[in-house]
Chain A
């Protein structure tokens, strides 16, 4: 993999992201409802003149292309606009929510990989065994269960029936570790704040398992099917003929070949999850990006929704890019 390829591939992202900004902006522009009226909705005594003045101040009286140009110039300067409802820079709002989502995503992905890869590999190697049947059935179940339902069931069981795990939020009030990265697990370890670490882990378990389950199901199925192909390759037999044990052959020769499709699926999934999972974050009152978006939609906070959609799109495109890079690392034949 050459530096030229990386740069080239990176430059290709620019038109994509540019297109995304256009679509996002157009969608918000075309959405019925006047943002200025939303702003003044709660305030009595605002005259039509006030509204008009404010509209001018925000630049909403300008034609579409001028508004769009200002939006893009703002973006380039890292300015995502001001939240109409909260009257704060949208960037700060997003940044304050991002760590929660990143933390949840990371743990959910970890959970899913820990389940999916061993189960997928064993299922393939011992095809049609009881283990394989259990794994495949479990995967079907995992894909079929909607996140909100699984989340509610886990809450009922672990949170309410057995009462062993907290069911909402990231951490109890006042226990937040000192802010360094915003990721509570990392911050609490860095500051040696073990009660906070423990609390953060306990809060993470249910939402992460909820998110991780459906992802694990998908990942396991991909891993199983690619491993099934690999198991019958000549190089697997040749590796056995060298004197390696069955496990060594699978781990050293099989896994790396089999994981190539898995990487694609997992990275796209991460792209989706990093956008914040609206459903799971809402169910577990997780203060992440997803919940911010849901709240903003309810409040008609257009600038926040607009920025969040933009962040989703960029994250997704970036994960795609990273997936390509990892691909080339795993598969030397992809010389780019």
Chain B
């Protein structure tokens, strides 16, 4: 069997705040295989971004990973010293963020920002682009390294569809459009050919037409470079465009996971069903939106049982008392719900693509 690029087991990331312990990520497990795209879906605050930051080892204080394993190509990242994580960040695993305007440094030229990651990983043995360990001996001033980084950066800008890339290298982020900036961010993330790309809402801040272009670009680059993508989003439209599998998160836990088709067409968890039912449809005015009532519970005061029981239409006392475990209900389709049998499959309510 294929070795997974990313193998996360029972990951738990807690925040130790003055108001109590916030279980941002609470026992999440999943695998990501080479060239695959896994969508992570859920409302704001469900722990999807924290899952990504935990993988990168960038959980902000006062949070930290308290349990679990994160294996990147077999190597456990949890508990690794920052020195070693730094070698992997940007080279083996890369991350892109939601808002390219605030994610690119406003006072540095694009070229500096794109070459930076290539320059630091050049020669540390993680960049697949070449260079031997001791090459700096032959290049003490880093001139060769700079030139290679520059050439590679121009190549990447070209690859992500930036016109006149050598000239754009000298531009500042604010001189570009939102779509261009997002392309730059993707170029930076993929410049060292990472095996894993964590994309945190990469299209949320963009216009719809630009969104489609960026998704297209990501798909094309993925095919070309074979990168595995963990795509975090709350947009089922994006999921249906790009993902092979989907993982639905609620209050720090995985509630349902399965192949794209199964999740979109036969969702079994009431939360997933609720999410899909709350998507507006084009051209169908008779269709009433069905919002999920209530709000996400406070993460430091979760009910002992199923976190969703406060909003779930089918929950009973048993749900409130005992937390459900993920169960496989059909091949590769897992659901964490006591009422799987009771909640009928919501056939035919998938997202029109």
Binding site for B on A (CB under 8 A): 233-235, 237-246, 248, 252-253, 256-257, 330-333
Minimal Cβ-Cβ distance residue in B for A248: B120
User: Could you tell me the distance in whole angstroms from the C-beta of A242 to the nearest C-beta in chain B?
Assistant: 4
| A240 near B103: Cβ-Cβ < 8 Å | no
A235 to B184: give the CA distance in the assembly, Å.
13
B238 on the A face (CB < 8 A): no
Task: List residues of chain B with CB within 8 A of the CB of A237.
Answer: 58, 97, 103
A248 to B108: give the CA distance in the assembly, Å.
14
User: Could you tell me the distance in whole angstroms from the C-beta of B57 to the nearest C-beta in chain A?
Assistant: 9
Task: List residues of chain A with CB within 8 A of the CB of B120.
Answer: 242-244, 248
| B58 near A257: Cβ-Cβ < 8 Å | no
| A332 near B107: Cβ-Cβ < 8 Å | yes
Task: List residues of chain B with CB within 8 A of the CB of A246.
Answer: 82
Option from B89, B103, B107 in Cβ contact (under 8 Å) with A243: B89
| B102 near A235: Cβ-Cβ < 8 Å | yes
Q: A238-B188, A242-B188, A332-B109 are in contact. List 18 more A-B contacts (CB 8 A).
A: A234-B99, A238-B104, A241-B56, A241-B58, A241-B95, A242-B89, A242-B94, A242-B120, A243-B91, A243-B117, A243-B121, A246-B82, A252-B108, A253-B108, A256-B108, A257-B106, A332-B172, A333-B106
User: Could you tell me the distance in whole angstroms from the C-beta of A73 to the nearest C-beta in chain B?
Assistant: 46
| B89 near A240: Cβ-Cβ < 8 Å | yes
Minimal Cβ-Cβ distance residue in A for B198: A241
User: Could you tell me the distance in whole angstroms from the C-beta of A103 to the nearest C-beta in chain B?
Assistant: 33
| B174 near A333: Cβ-Cβ < 8 Å | yes
A242 to B112: give the CA distance in the assembly, Å.
13
| B103 near A244: Cβ-Cβ < 8 Å | no
| A241 near B106: Cβ-Cβ < 8 Å | no
A331 to B174: give the CA distance in the assembly, Å.
11
Minimal Cβ-Cβ distance residue in B for A241: B95
| B105 near A253: Cβ-Cβ < 8 Å | yes
Task: List residues of chain B with CB within 8 A of the CB of A332.
Answer: 106-107, 109, 172, 174
Minimal Cβ-Cβ distance residue in A for B112: A252
Task: List residues of chain A with CB within 8 A of the CB of B86.
Answer: 243-245
Q: Which of A233, A237, A256 has the most CB of B within 10 A?
A: A237
**Residues 78-122 (chain B) with a chain A CB within 8 angstroms:** 82, 86-91, 94-95, 97, 99, 102-109, 116-117, 120-121
Option from B99, B107, B116, B188 in Cβ contact (under 8 Å) with A256: B107
User: Could you tell me the distance in whole angstroms from the C-beta of A329 to the nearest C-beta in chain B?
Assistant: 10
Number of interface residues of B (CB under 8 A): 29
A244 to B120: give the CA distance in the assembly, Å.
7
User: Could you tell me the distance in whole angstroms from the C-beta of A275 to the nearest C-beta in chain B?
Assistant: 32
Can you report 19 residue pairs joining A to B where beta carbons are below 8 Å apart?
A234-B97, A237-B97, A237-B103, A238-B97, A238-B104, A241-B94, A242-B89, A242-B188, A243-B120, A244-B90, A244-B116, A252-B108, A252-B116, A253-B105, A256-B108, A257-B107, A330-B107, A332-B107, A332-B174
Minimal Cβ-Cβ distance residue in A for B117: A242
| A331 near B89: Cβ-Cβ < 8 Å | no
User: Could you tell me the distance in whole angstroms from the C-beta of B260 to the nearest C-beta in chain A?
Assistant: 27
A237 to B49: give the CA distance in the assembly, Å.
13
Minimal Cβ-Cβ distance residue in B for A246: B82
A242 to B188: give the CA distance in the assembly, Å.
8
**Residues 166-192 (chain B) with a chain A CB within 8 angstroms:** 172, 174, 185, 188
Minimal Cβ-Cβ distance residue in A for B52: A241
Minimal Cβ-Cβ distance residue in A for B99: A234
Task: List residues of chain B with CB within 8 A of the CB of A241.
Answer: 56, 58, 89-90, 94-95
Q: Which of B90, B99, B185 has the most CB of A within 10 A?
A: B90
Task: List residues of chain A with CB within 8 A of the CB of B116.
Answer: 239, 242, 244, 252
A235 to B181: give the CA distance in the assembly, Å.
13
User: Could you tell me the distance in whole angstroms from the C-beta of B70 to the nearest C-beta in chain A?
Assistant: 15
**Residues 103-155 (chain B) with a chain A CB within 8 angstroms:** 103-109, 116-117, 120-121
| B104 near A235: Cβ-Cβ < 8 Å | yes
Q: Which of A240, A244, A253 has the most CB of B within 10 A?
A: A240
Task: List residues of chain B with CB within 8 A of the CB of A248.
Answer: 120
Contact with A along B41-57 (1 / 0, CB 8 A): 00000000000000010
A242 to B96: give the CA distance in the assembly, Å.
10
Task: List residues of chain A with CB within 8 A of the CB of B117.
Answer: 242-243
User: Could you tell me the distance in whole angstroms from the C-beta of A45 to the nearest C-beta in chain B?
Assistant: 71
A241 to B89: give the CA distance in the assembly, Å.
6
A257 to B108: give the CA distance in the assembly, Å.
10
* Shortest beta-carbon contacts, A-B, top 4: A243-B90, A242-B117, A242-B90, A243-B89
User: Could you tell me the distance in whole angstroms from the C-beta of B306 to the nearest C-beta in chain A?
Assistant: 33
| A233 near B174: Cβ-Cβ < 8 Å | no
Task: List residues of chain B with CB within 8 A of the CB of A242.
Answer: 89-90, 94, 116-117, 120, 188
Minimal Cβ-Cβ distance residue in B for A240: B58
**Residues 302-338 (chain B) with a chain A CB within 8 angstroms:** none
Task: List residues of chain A with CB within 8 A of the CB of B109.
Answer: 332
User: Could you tell me the distance in whole angstroms from the C-beta of B116 to the nearest C-beta in chain A?
Assistant: 6
A306 to B7: give the CA distance in the assembly, Å.
78
Option from B87, B105, B121, B174 in Cβ contact (under 8 Å) with A235: B105
A34 to B166: give the CA distance in the assembly, Å.
71
